[in-house]
């Protein structure tokens, strides 16, 4: 039998408010007499369009203007500095050919991870470059 995922919100009383209670009830009824395992996890949202617009339109833009580097170069540098990904390359025989550090992907960041990434970049820009990047609420991205 296929496992299903259902979304719900926990109200102030600690009760689940299902997005589609009827679908949940229908599925659960197919499990009558069986032991089940329930797993509840807080939803993790991917970075928002607003975060992405602020990142490119404000953060990357200001540092690009200050340094003279292209926006993509600033973006790549930030990824390598703040979300590094270590890559090991091996040949056909399995022999180690090299270890490298590249920038991770901002597209895979959850909303809270993107917030942290941006904050680390803003601190670095202020401390090391003297570039003060305004808070997201202070500018239109």
In tens, the pLDDT along 48-100 reads: 888 999 999 999 999 999 999 999 999 999 999 999 999 999 999 999 999 99
Question: What is the average pLDDT across 120-141?
Answer: 90
pLDDT at 1 over 80: no
CATH 1.10.3790.10 domain locations along the chain: 49-138
Model confidence at 21, pLDDT cuts 50, 70, 90, reads: confident
The encoded tokens of residue 55 equal 């990142």
Q: What are phi and psi of 32, to 5 degrees?
A: -50, 130
Q: Which CATH architecture has domain 49-138?
A: Orthogonal Bundle (1.10)
Model pLDDT, residue 27: 87
Distance (Å, whole) CA 79 – CA 68: 18
> Taking the CB of residue 51, how many other CB atoms lie within 10 A of it?
19
38, 100 contact by CB (below 8 A): no
**To the nearest whole number, what is the mean pLDDT of the chain?**
90
Alpha helices per DSSP H over 20-110: 21-29, 49-54, 61-67, 71-82
Model pLDDT, residue 26: 87
Assign 123 to helix, strand or coil.
helix
Highest mean predicted confidence (pLDDT) among 24-38, 40-54, 84-98: 84-98
Instruction: Give me the half-sphere count of Cα atoms (radius 13 Å) on the Cβ side of residue 135.
Output: 2
Model confidence at 22, pLDDT cuts 50, 70, 90, reads: confident
């Amino acid at each position: 039998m296929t496992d299903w995922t259902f979304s719900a919100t926990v109200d102030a009383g600690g009760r689940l408010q299902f997005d589609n209670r009827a679908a949940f009830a229908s599925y659960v009824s197919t499990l009558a007499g069986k032991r089940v395992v329930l797993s509840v996890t807080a939803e993790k949202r991917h970075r928002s369009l607003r975060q992405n617009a602020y990142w490119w339109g404000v953060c990357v833009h200001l540092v690009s203007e200050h340094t003279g580097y292209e926006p993509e170069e600033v973006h790549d540098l930030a990824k390598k500095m703040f979300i590094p990904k270590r890559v090991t390359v091996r040949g056909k025989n399995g022999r180690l050919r090299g270890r490298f550090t590249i920038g991770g992907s901002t597209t895979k960041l959850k909303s809270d991870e993107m917030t942290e990434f941006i904050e680390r970049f803003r601190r670095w820009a202020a401390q090391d470059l003297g570039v003060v990047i305004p808070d997201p609420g202070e500018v239109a991205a």
